[in-house]
A and B are shown apart, each in its own frame.
Chain A
Amino acid sequence: MICVEHLTKQFGSGAGHVLAVDNVSFHANYGEVYGLLGPNGAGKTTTLRMILGLLIPTSGEVTICGSRITIDPIGIKRHIGLVSASAGLYQWLSPLEILEYFAASYGLSREYAQERIRKLIELMDLGSFLHRRSVTLSTGQKQRVNLARALVHDPSVVLLDEPTRGLDVIGSNVVFEFVRNLQKSGKSIVVCTHQLDEAQRLCDRFGLLHRGRLFQEGTLQNLRDATGQETLVEMFLDVLRKPEESDSVLGFPESSSEEIR
């Protein structure tokens, strides 16, 4: 499982500093899908990047399978798979070469890597374009390669950053099935998205992030009880209407409301 405690990231110092993530804590158990939700600029991606070790937290701790990010920032990456809609592929490599490259990068033995790749080819149905250069693949095929790549080292935690951005209905459905499969196999999953309706279908528990702070957390029922709103969209719009009610919510930009669908 993944456990995030008091994670904080401050960019810059002095008067011009920005508190991108402010004391965020949450966890995702095995077989649980946790949705980290919020509009653009809420701090989702920054949180994700700190978990991945791409950014050094100003304070706080992330623990995955007993590894701590403050102690072993490189070792902790072995337990994480990252799926990002924006991630590209190496255009001159074939899907098979890409999978082999990532398997070696995670230090898998040759035999185990072959077995994992064989399973993923089957799971993601990559067989028909396995040896083609990635530059020639369609968007859907690229997406499947990307999903397979994230799982090549069989991580116990999978982070999905805006996994359906730019995808059509079929593409989004592939992602949904992917997440359901991961859930069944007992992985801890964190989904970062501003697509609230999708998140509502996908996640077991939610953390609502706003200006770097978690202002609500729990199952959909917990959130409904706490906010008196029916849907996640309504909950966010409610916060936007009454910014003064929370100290953490300081002048939420009006344009951001459009980003919440």
Chain B
Amino acid sequence: MNDGEPQSFKKQLPNDQTSREWWRQQWSFTRKELQETLRDPRTIGTLLLMPLLLYPLLGMVLRFLAIQGVMNPIQEYRIAFENEQTAGIVSSMLQRGEEELAKELPSEDTSKPKSLWRTIVPNKESSFNLADAISAGVADVGVRLDAPINNTETERSGLRLKIVIAKDYGISRTAGTIVRERLRAFSLLMVTSINEDINHPSPGRVEQSVQYVPMLSEDIGILGLLPLVILLLTVTGGVYPAIDLTAGERERDTLETLVALPVPMVRILAAKYVSVLAVTLLTGLVNVIAMTVTGYALGLQSTLLGDAALSPRLVLSFLLVLTVFGAFYSAILLLLASTARSFKEAQAFLIPLMLLSITPAVAVLIPSWRLDGLLSIVPLVNMLLVAKELFEGTIHPLPAFVAVTSTLVYAAAALAVAARRFGSDALVVGGQMSWADVLRRPKSGRDVPAMHTTLLTLGAILPLHFIATGILGQSKTWSPSSRLMASAIFTALLFGGLPASVVWWNRLQWRATFRLYVPSLLIFPAAILLGVATWPWIHEVVLWSRSLGIQVLDDSKVKAVQSMLESWKSVSPWLIVGAIGVAPGIFEELFFRGFLLGALRRSLQVGSALMISSIIFGLFHVILSAGAAPERFLPSTIMGMILGWLLIRTGSIVPSMVMHVCHNSLLLVMATKSDDLGKIAFGESVAEHLPAIWLIASAVAISMSAVWMYVISHRDSNRSTMVGSKESQKE
């Protein structure tokens, strides 16, 4: 490390385009790709003709089956009861409810069959577990009592019934709806006429609740096949444009003029990506419309979707899942197609991909596969599970968020590799560069990582970080000091070791990549001051993000932090500060500020690079397999921006490391000294705002150090420019 290195990013990385010009140019690239794709009759063919022919045909087959009785949409539903007593009571309730409903809808009477359901009751000897029976498909829906029946008081005040439904199974859901509607009608009737009919003692109000059970039977409803449908929709849409816009460029001899443009290839490929994604989504939309229209026209909607059909929220969510899934799949398609030297080769690459992706689509039909833990970061599988759970109504926001985020990161990484492959020597010259060449260590390197290297590294660190936090979360039996040590080792390996191995492999410059330059000594007081003065405002941001409803304080979390703080009392404070203060301070800075921000800065405007790197920094603090912390997103992102600003101002990683270490360590010292301060330090404090005087003092200190930092770095960059110009005069 020495002092004579460039101080300012701006001078080192000239970028004469304004961001408006940049976007105008990017739009021009995208418009051209969209025009090329959407004017091509073959694209329109796959986009419109396929669904227009496929769904009516499929619908006719389903209808035929329905007529044949194989899939009768209006069937006799099988309702199971625990015992005969319940069966008797509930059956009469259902019957009266049915009569009430029939009064409301007299016109439909003729079309309905005489009996809409039949009851299934166990033999007196055998025990009958209702949930198991529904899971096994013995009956479509089950009803049991939640409260004892022979209690006279309960009889008066009402009954509580539990409706058991198989969640993957459309017929079960429809049967459930039929039962619930009739019970509701009955209950309404009882409430309004409770005092009128004294001769017939009535159970009064009927309360219902639903219990969903997994479907174990092989006969899974068509609803369960929807993830597979989403996959096929996506695949059919994107394949042709992906091939046409990449391998097609070479086939039409336009690749050379494209590569000769003074534009990074990743921007051209990003435009192609948007185009492929647009066609994919359009195909999805056309398919959904065709499917719905066919369903309505042939009266099959209840067979297809049960009672889940056509709620606007569901359709919207479906489109959202399709978008994320399409974003991932389009990137993979583009990656493979970019590698091909011809149309034929591209097709040869994509067909195995399509076949391969059907396997996870079928696998997610297994009821025990849920979106949690490791499955939420497995590409392809995670989004299929999101789709599945969305339709079941069992989805949880956090694993879904993890799935979406990780999928988008994978898509970005795939796109970056595609950009590297597309327009490379092999494609332009027609050489025999293979995938092995991509994996071969380059002979010469550049100074900082290229965009594709950065995104690939990010794509690797994200799941590894998730797994590492998962291991730490599982390690409750370890001693506190071993857990702290493990945490420090994981941090060092992930954020230090992995980027370092990328630098070594790609023969990048260590100092330029990690910004390992010694800044002016005068910067250190400002960095330290920033480090110790920022936390009160960060605490306020935590409170503020909570007031926005980002996280409802959860007792288990507070308890977890308390027990962690308790366990630390036996551990050396040096170890605590070293493992959670110093290690993240150093290694996270190496990756997020040195590696990531430095690389992003090469291709993006300084503001966008800072924003993106900070958001990624924020996301890493949220996506933890051992329990998510959405309230940490805003404060971490803001910290990321301050730390990034520090790096950009000084050109060195050291001040941001100093600030990060000081910030973390101060919070840890506070945590070990006092339980209350500990809660603040870990963002688990209930709602106390800090005294105004603290905030004012903090604001003054932050402003002072920012001004100090600005003046010093400005002076240094002027000086280095002057030295530079003198040297050039000498030459």
Contacts and interface: CB of A to CB of B under 8 A. Distances in A.
Pair from one complex: yes
12 contacts: A54-B425, A55-B429, A74-B262, A82-B260, A88-B252, A89-B254, A90-B32, A92-B36, A101-B29, A102-B261, A104-B29, A106-B261
A91 to B, nearest CB: 7
Nearest to B427: A54
Contacts of B423: 54
A82 B257 contact: yes
Given A107-B262, A149-B257, 7 more contacts: A11-B431, A46-B429, A54-B423, A76-B262, A101-B28, A101-B29, A105-B29
Interface string A62-94: 000000000000111110101010111111110
Nearest to A46: B429
Contact size class for A? 20 to 34
Nearest to B28: A104
A133 to B, nearest CB: 8
Contacts of A75: 262
A100 interface: yes
A105 B254 CA distance: 14
Contacts of B32: 90, 93, 97, 101
B35 A77 contact: no
Contact of B262 (A77, A86, A87, A101): A77
A53 interface: yes
Interface in B29-79: 29, 31-32, 35-36, 39-40
A100 B32 CA distance: 10
Contacts of A132: none
B25 interface: yes
Nearest to B443: A13
Contact of A78 (B29, B35, B36, B262): B262
A208 B29 CA distance: 39
Interface of A: 11, 46, 49, 52-56, 74-78, 80, 82, 84, 86-93, 97, 100-102, 104-107, 133, 149
B21 interface: yes
A116 to B, nearest CB: 15
B3 interface: no
Contacts of A80: 260
Nearest to B17: A107
B338 to A, nearest CB: 16
Nearest to B254: A88
B35 A93 contact: yes
Contact of B425 (A55, A90, A97): A55
Contacts of A82: 256-257, 260
Contacts of B428: 49, 54-55
Interface in B11-37: 17, 21, 24-25, 28-29, 31-32, 35-36
A76 B31 CA distance: 25
A119 B24 CA distance: 23
B257 A87 contact: yes
Q: Which of B31, B252, B257, B259 has most chain A Cβ within 10 Å? A: B257
A54 B260 CA distance: 7
A131 B359 CA distance: 47
Given A54-B428, A55-B425, A107-B21, A88 B253 contact: yes
B521 interface: no
Contacts of A49: 428-429
Nearest to B263: A105
Interface in B255-283: 256-257, 259-264
A247 B428 CA distance: 31
Interface in B99-156: none
Contacts, number: 83
Contacts of B252: 88-91
Contacts of A88: 252-254
5 smallest CB-CB distances across A and B, nearest first, come from A104-B28, A77-B262, A88-B253, A92-B39, A88-B252
Contacts of A93: 32, 35-36
Interface in B631-677: none
A93 B257 CA distance: 15
Contacts of A149: 257
Interface in B422-446: 423, 425, 428-429, 431
A138 B420 CA distance: 35
A100 B425 CA distance: 27
A86 B253 contact: yes
A78 to B, nearest CB: 5
Contact of B254 (A74, A77, A87): A87
A138 B256 CA distance: 21
Contacts of B260: 52-54, 77, 80, 82
A75 B17 CA distance: 12
Contacts of B261: 77, 102, 105-106
A149 B254 CA distance: 12
A100 B28 contact: yes
A100 B24 CA distance: 12
A105 B28 contact: yes
Q: Which of A55, A86, A93, A105 has most chain B Cβ within 10 Å? A: A105
Nearest to A85: B253
Contacts of B425: 54-56
A84 B257 contact: yes
A201 B20 CA distance: 47
A105 B257 CA distance: 11
A102 B32 CA distance: 10
A54 B28 contact: no
B400 to A, nearest CB: 39
A133 B603 CA distance: 34
A92 B33 CA distance: 10
B25 A107 contact: yes
Nearest to B268: A105
Interface in B210-263: 252-254, 256-257, 259-263
A87 B251 CA distance: 10
A100 B27 CA distance: 12
A93 B29 CA distance: 13
B6 to A, nearest CB: 15
Contacts of B31: 101
Contacts of B24: 104
Contacts of A104: 24-25, 28-29
Given A74-B264, A90-B32, A92-B35, A105 B25 contact: yes
A110 to B, nearest CB: 8
Nearest to A153: B262
B150 to A, nearest CB: 78
Contacts of A76: 262
Contacts of A53: 260
B262 A106 contact: yes
A74 B13 CA distance: 13
A51 B20 CA distance: 30
B709 to A, nearest CB: 31
B25 to A, nearest CB: 5
Contacts of A102: 257, 261
A120 B58 CA distance: 54
Nearest to B428: A54
B303 to A, nearest CB: 41
A76 B257 CA distance: 15
A54 B262 contact: no
Nearest to B259: A54
Nearest to A97: B35
Nearest to A75: B262
A213 B162 CA distance: 88
A104 B268 CA distance: 12
